[in-house]
Every structure is written in C-alpha cells, then in structure tokens.
Chain A
Amino acid sequence: MTHSLTLRAALVSVSILVVFLLAWHLATRGTSAVQQMDPEYAKLMGLTATQGKSAMPGPLDVGAKLWEHLRRPFYDNGPNDKGVGIQLAYSIARVALGYLLAVAFALPIGFLIGMSPLMNRALDPFIQVLKPISPLAWMPLALYTIKDSGLSSIFVIFICSLWPMMINTAFGVASVRREWLNVAKTLEVGTFRRAFTIILPAAAPTILTGMRISIGIAWLVIVAAEMLVGGTGIGYFVWNEWNNLSITNVINAILLIGVVGMLLDLLLARATKLVTFPE
C-alpha cells in the first residue's frame, strides 16, 4: 500500500457513507404488500398501510428535496414558505451579531481579569454563577425587557458566547510567559503598548481557541432559540416543518445546520492558525 493516509481515510469515509445510505434505503423501502381496504378507512390510515410506503423518508426522497432546496435557496412566498438560504441567512446574521457583541465585551473584560489579580478575584463569583446558566433560561427575561423576539435571540447568543471567550482571554493573558513581559519591562514599554504588542500576540492563540468554542455553542443555541421565538431562521424552519409533518425537510435542515456549523468552525480554525506561532 503506497497510498497516502489522506487517501485511505477518504476511502474509508466514503465506504461508511455508502453503507449508511444503503442501510437507510433498505430500511425505509417499505412493505410491498398492501391490504385491500375500504377507501373511507384508507383515508384514516397512513401511507404505510395504503401504499406500502415507509413513513420515514428514504435517502432518495431527502436527496431530491435537498436538490430542490439548493436550486432555489432564496425564494420567498410569505412568512411560512421561505427558501432555506433565507432561513440560514437569518440565523447566521443573528449569530454574527450576538457573537460580535460578545467579542466586544469578552475581550476587554478578559484582558482586565487576566492582567489584574484584584479584578480576577472580584469578578470570579459572578462568572462562576452566570456561566452555568443555560442561555435559553435568559429568554423570558430578554423578551420581557427587550420586547423584541429577534433582538432577544441575539441577546441569548451574546450571553452564551460570552463566557468561553472571556475565560480563555483571561487565561491567555494571565499566562503570558514572564520572560516576554520582562523584555517589555527592560525596554520600558508602556502599559498600552505592552498590551497590544506583547500580551495580545502572546495570548492570541488561547483567545482564538475560546472564540472557536463560542461560535460552536452559539450555533447550537440559535436553533433552539429560534424554535422558541419563531418567525424566521433555520430553527424556526425545523419546527415549522415538524408541524407540517415533513420529515424530509426536517432531515434536510439537520444536514444544513451541520454543514454551516462545520464551516463556521473551519473559519475560526483558519483564524487560529494565522495567529499561532511556533516556539
């Protein structure tokens, strides 16, 4: 075997996918034997009983529907019938807004905590209490105070992205190597310049790791938040399609959520790579 590891791994991946799709297809093929029944009675029965079809869509149905979605991702036929592209765009926009807002708060506060042992001690109890709260628990309070469902979901994203970033920033800043700080000291570098030219680059890999964890959590939470507040977004789409009993669309949405989540993670992984330095 002279194939590279990547190639062999890809081969195994494809094999697993093929086996999975085949098993799925066979499992949802349905029974061919259909009982003869009274048409009135048949109306009350599901497709399994009347046409021998499985209630669970097979990979071919899902594939066909996915193709349909991907061909027209941005159509808009009113509030309950929008293309998945539009729904994903809503979700991504909310995540982006809440996340950037969190960055704007988490980085300075994290710096403060990391640089000042006093603030570290003083803020620690608040962080310890606030961190384990499920972001959705904030939703009623957000709806009550903000009085806007869209803004409330952005707030929920903000609050869930905040903690990993803040904690990682504080940790990264606090654990900058002493010798680098000593270099800054002997060169009489001021606090501000030291923060930007020594601490920031030194802590950047740790900070970016926190940001990567945060974007993952934000993308998990947005689906749940949109199921709650409704209106638009991929989370709302999933719940709407569940109400329509379109399992095909639910599966499609699950797939798309996974792909977008992966892309967001990939984006942050790239950014992390940019600021990582070899030692």
Chain B
Amino acid sequence: MTQKFISIEGIAKRFPAASGGITTVFEDLWLSMQRGEFTCIIGHSGCGKTTVLNILAGLDETSSGAVIVDNQAIEGPSLDRAVIFQTHALLPWLTVMGNVSYAVSSKWRNWKTPRVRERAQKFIDLVGLNGAESKRPAELSGGMKQRVGIARALSIEPKIMLMDEPFSALDALTRGTLQDEVRRICQETDQTVFMITHDVDEAIYLADRIVLMTNGPGAVVAEIVENPLPKERKRHEVHKHPLFYPVRNHIIDFLVSRSKSFAQEMRGRHDPRHVPTVRPGTEPVVVTDSNVLRLGGHTAAH
C-alpha cells in the first residue's frame, strides 16, 4: 500500500436538530489521498461534501475522528492547506495585486514589500492576469475573479489545494478555459488537490480519483472511481476516449439512482474503512454492474 498523504480517519459530523434530536451529516467516514493526486468528490447537495472540505481546511470541526495530513493531525486552519472558495472570497477593498500580496505576506511575514509583490506578480502572471494588477474585484468578470482566487491559493505554496465548486458560478466557456489552466498548473506543480464538483465531465477531465458520496443525512462514501483515462488528456478529446462513457455512465447511474438506494443495496455489508475502488470499463466489475442492473430494475418497478 502506498503512503497516505492525507488520511481522513473515521470522522463524523453531528449537530443538534431543530426538532430536538441530533442530525448526523455523516458518520465514520474514511478516505485517504496520496501526494500529487487530484481527487474530486461528487454527491448530491446536503451529503456533507462541503463539510468534509471545511474540516480538511480547518474551518469546521469534526464531532469525532481525526484528519491526518503529512503525518500530523490537523488542528484548525493552516497555510499548508489553501482554499479556493466557490464565491471567490476576494477582499473587495484590495486590488488584484493587494489580494494576492495579502496571502503572500501572511505566509512570509518578514518579507519586504518588493519581494512580496514580486512573488504575487509571478502568480498573477501564471493565471494570465498581468495587466489587471491594479483592478479591484468589482471591475473583474467572474472568471477573472476566480483566477485571482487561484493565484492567491497557489502563491502560498500549499501542500494541498481545497476547491469548493470553484467553477460552478462561471459560464461554460470560461469554465473550460479555467479547467485547462488548473489542470496545467496542478500538473506542473504536482499539487495535491481535493475538489468538490457537481459536474461529472469536469470530474472525469480533472480527477485521478472520483469519490462518490450517497445522499445525506447519514451520508457515506459509497465507492471510489479510479479514473481509467490516460494522465495525458485533452479537454476536446477526452470524450472520444473509449473509456470515457463507461466512467461517465457509471457516475451518472450512481447519482441518479444508487446514491439514494445505496443503504438497501449494501444491506449492512458496507465497510466504511474499506470502500470499494472501481475502474469502470477496464475490468468486468461484476459486483458493481450487477448492482446497477438490479437496482435499475428495482427503481423502475416503483
């Protein structure tokens, strides 16, 4: 077994419900990631993906269990884990340069201004925003704002990048371009990435592994889909690969039916510590396929 870089060990999130009981978002959740790996997590709204990400970021606390990053249990937020927020979360009173510099000077507190600016400039150039340094977020388009968010996250040399649906607020064209850039940058810098998405195609294009979560409350990690597509892939060619549709169908089947009925499907056989890993289309995946078929019939009967 390869060494785990990030290890989520039996975390749970519960909070008191309005009616007086306790709502369990998820219970006993295990997940590990390796260094340099791009992991996407997919599931319906309310399954607790964002909670998992916030726990990884240190912005939220677990009710039980622990998260270990690089052999250390995490306690609160850290500069090692950069977050790219869905809503950009840029500081509107600062310019593009100001926003990126703020992150740089937070990481290297004794750096002098020219050095901070030089580093900030490097990352502004990297995301293709040179020329817009002195603009304020209000003057930027949605795509440009998210570029600033990416530059800010990358500039602090994080060990992990956590992305919470970073492209969901963008139009399709901008989203495509930014996906390309994120993929290029992550490959160049060998970044470890954990990303939440609702977009199956985005997950297949970007991720090495796709984590499928069932519906909440009481959500579990149902299975982990290992992306069978070659590491070198182009956005405009990826859908022509013979394995693209098997993966896509597998994930969509999961989202449409299995995410709801997963508990019945497993009948208590689900071991949260050993979540099955599947590679759709490359092996006979008997278990998974028969499940899909059986459940497909099952759902149709309703």
Contact = CB atoms under 8 A, between A and B. Distances in A.
A101 interface: no
B78 A180 contact: no
A197 B93 CA distance: 10
A108 to B, nearest CB: 21
B91 A186 contact: no
Contacts of A180: 89, 91
Nearest 5 pairs of A and B residues by beta carbon: A278-B138, A187-B106, A179-B89, A277-B93, A185-B77
B52 interface: no
Given A179-B87, A182-B85, A183-B89, A188 B78 contact: yes
Contacts of A186: 57-59, 77-79, 81-83
A186 B137 CA distance: 20
Contacts of A183: 85, 89, 91
Provide the main secondary structure of the chain B interface. Answer: loop
Interface of A: 179-180, 182-183, 185-189, 197-198, 201-202, 275, 277-279
Contacts of B81: 186
A272 to B, nearest CB: 14
A186 B102 CA distance: 12
A185 B61 CA distance: 14
B93 A201 contact: yes
Interface of B: 57-59, 76-79, 81-83, 85, 87, 89, 91-93, 102-103, 106-107, 136-138, 156
B91 A187 contact: no
Contacts of A179: 85, 87, 89
27 contacts: A179-B85, A180-B89, A180-B91, A182-B57, A182-B59, A182-B83, A182-B85, A185-B59, A185-B76, A185-B77, A186-B59, A186-B78, A186-B83, A187-B103, A187-B106, A187-B156, A188-B77, A188-B79, A198-B91, A201-B91, A275-B93, A277-B92, A277-B138, A278-B136, A278-B138, A279-B92, A279-B137
Nearest to A188: B79
A275 B85 CA distance: 25
A113 B92 CA distance: 24
Given A187-B106, A188-B78, A188-B79, A278 B59 contact: no
Nearest to A185: B77
A277 B89 contact: no
A167 to B, nearest CB: 23
A185 B83 CA distance: 10
A277 B135 CA distance: 12
Contacts of A275: 93
Contacts of A279: 92, 137-138
Nearest to A198: B91
Given A182-B83, A186-B57, A277-B92, 20 more contacts: A179-B85, A179-B89, A180-B89, A182-B57, A182-B85, A183-B91, A185-B59, A186-B59, A186-B79, A186-B83, A187-B79, A187-B106, A188-B79, A188-B106, A189-B106, A197-B102, A201-B91, A202-B93, A278-B138, A279-B138
Contacts of A197: 102
Contacts of B156: 187
A58 to B, nearest CB: 53
B160 to A, nearest CB: 11
B106 A182 contact: no
Contacts of B57: 182, 186
Contacts of B77: 185-188
